[in-house]
Each structure stands twice: as structure tokens, then as C-alpha cells.
């Protein structure tokens, strides 16, 4: 029989463990810390249970996405570290498409667009 202190220790240990969310992306399993998802992608499909529910596979106990897993790794890296960086083997438009698909925050998308020179400013005075 467990003592009260053993139960308290167990509850504390459970609370200290990060809650992981599992994503199966094009056959590759990723596990992300729920707290980091909320911190770095709070309004995205990944963070909002009501929006990601449609992708949940109850038999596998994972969220399943038909997206390129190599591109998703960039998103995993961003959520894990806070650094948005595109490896040279990842096409910038594919990454932009993935960021848009998961409805990442506009700040993240705009930062990526500027980083990749996908933002073009037009001087309207000179065009008229």
C-alpha cells in the first residue's frame, strides 16, 4: 500500500514530465512538448486541440498529417528551439506552404518571408 508521501511524489513526478503530443507526418513519428507548442505556435493547428482534432487517429493515438516530413522537421526545430532556419535542401516555397497549412502565427510567416526574400515592396508612387 502506498503512503501519502509516495503518492505526492508520484503526482509531482508526473506533473514535472513534459506532456508530449504525437504527430505522424507522412509516416514519420514526431513527439513535441505541449508546453513548447503552446509557447511558440499558440494559434496554430498544432496547438489548438479543437483545430487539430480532425487529424486525430484514435487507433494510433497520434495526429496524422499528409505533409512532407522533411519540411515538418523545420517546424519541429522551430518549436523546440525558437529558431526558424531553412536547410538548403528544403525548398522555401514548400516550407512557406507548410507554415501556412499549419496556420502559424503571422509574425512567424512574415519573418520567414523576409528571411527568404519572399516579400516585395512596391513603391506605388514610382509606378504611377
What is the predicted pLDDT for the residue at 122? 59
Please say whether the beta carbons of 69 and 25 come within 8 A.
yes
Q: Which of 51, 45, 99, 49 is nearest to 72 (CA)?
A: 99
What is the predicted pLDDT for the residue at 101? 96
| C-alpha–C-alpha distance, residues 97 and 68, integer Å | 10
Domain ranges of the chain: 19-127
What is the predicted pLDDT for the residue at 26? 96
pLDDT in tens, the chain (128 residues): 556 666 665 555 555 567 999 999 999 999 999 999 999 999 999 999 999 999 999 999 999 999 999 999 999 999 999 999 999 999 999 999 999 999 999 999 989 988 888 765 556 665 55
- Would you call 32 helix, strand, or coil by DSSP? strand
State the fold for domain 19-127: Potassium Channel Kv1.1; Chain A (3.30.710)
Amino acid at each position: 500500500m502506498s503512503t501519502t508521501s509516495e503518492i505526492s511524489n508520484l503526482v509531482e513526478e508526473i506533473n514535472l514530465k513534459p506532456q508530449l503530443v504525437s504527430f505522424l507526418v507522412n509516416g514519420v513519428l514526431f513527439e513535441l512538448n505541449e508546453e513548447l507548442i503552446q509557447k511558440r505556435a499558440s494559434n496554430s493547428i498544432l496547438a489548438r486541440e479543437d483545430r487539430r482534432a480532425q487529424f486525430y487517429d484514435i487507433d494510433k493515438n497520434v495526429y496524422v498529417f499528409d505533409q512532407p516530413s522533411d519540411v515538418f522537421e523545420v517546424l519541429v526545430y522551430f518549436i523546440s528551439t525558437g529558431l526558424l532556419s531553412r536547410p538548403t535542401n528544403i525548398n522555401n516555397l514548400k516550407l512557406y506552404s507548410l507554415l501556412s497549412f499549419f496556420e502559424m502565427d503571422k509574425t512567424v510567416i512574415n519573418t520567414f518571408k523576409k528571411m527568404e526574400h519572399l516579400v516585395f515592396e512596391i513603391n506605388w508612387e514610382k509606378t504611377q
